[in-house]
Amino acid sequence: MPISNLDLTLIAILCGEVLGFAAFARDKQKAKAGLWRTPEATLLLFGLIGGLGAWMGQHLLRHKTRKEPFRTQFGVVVVIHLILLAAGATSTLL
């Protein structure tokens, strides 16, 4: 049975969410170990790619939840991610 475009899209979204979570988890580990950290711009990019996963990583790991202006910028990026997902879902249904 061939894989449909919808299946591929859902797999891509899932991979993005996992990557978003992993980016925050890795940066949290680096922070605890005192190692070179992931730039905030990179974390914001992962928020755009995998917004919900990155948001879950931020909150479950309690990483960068109080740092401004990153917190606000990250919130905007996650909202953009959700809008893009909704737009993609709407165009698929039409």
Domain segments of the chain as ranges = 5-93
Tell me: the pLDDT tens digits for 27-39?
Answer: 999 999 999 999 9
Give pLDDT, residue 90: 82
Kindly state the DSSP code that residue 2 receives in the 8-state scheme. Answer: P
Give pLDDT, residue 93: 64
Q: Which residue has the tokens 């919808």?
A: 6
Please state the pTM of the whole predicted model: 0.88
Q: Which residues are CB-neighbours of 17 under 8 A, at least 6 positions away? A: 50, 51, 52, 53, 54
- Tell me how far apart the alpha carbons of residues 77 and 55 are, in angstroms, rounded to a whole number: 10
Kindly state the DSSP code that residue 67 receives in the 8-state scheme. Answer: -
Give pLDDT, residue 3: 84
Nearest to 50 by CA among 28, 25, 21: 21
Tell me: the pLDDT tens digits for 40-49?
Answer: 999 999 999 9
